[in-house]
Amino acid sequence: ATVRLRAAQGLAGMGEKDSVPSLIGLLKDLPVDTVWEAEEYLSRIAGEQAPGLAVTADDASRTRAHDAWTKWWDENRDKVVLSRVNDLSRELGY
């Protein structure tokens, strides 16, 4: 799952919109200690339009977050500009 995260982040950074559903899917698959990375990246993509749900360790929270992000993507995929994510400051300079 961590390799899929890095690949999706890299592809999203290159403007590949097809990587966003992979990031959303990782909200269910990543270990608890790294799921925040997918959530944070998605939040940077969405900006102020991001769903207000946080992922926690329980499966119900992961499902709710996944569903909320899927709905967000369905409604906003045509408006998202992935290139602007690179313009935002990156945590720890990565």
Structure confidence at residue 84 (pLDDT): 63
Q: Say how many CA atoms lie within 13 Å of 48 toward its Cβ.
A: 0
Structure confidence at residue 53 (pLDDT): 86
Q: Which two tokens stand for residue 44?
A: 């940077």
Structure confidence at residue 24 (pLDDT): 96
Structure confidence at residue 81 (pLDDT): 82
Q: What is the 3-state secondary structure (H, E, C) of 74-87?
A: HHHCCCCCCHHHHH
Low-confidence ranges of the chain (pLDDT < 70): 84-94
Structure confidence at residue 86 (pLDDT): 59
Structure confidence at residue 63 (pLDDT): 93
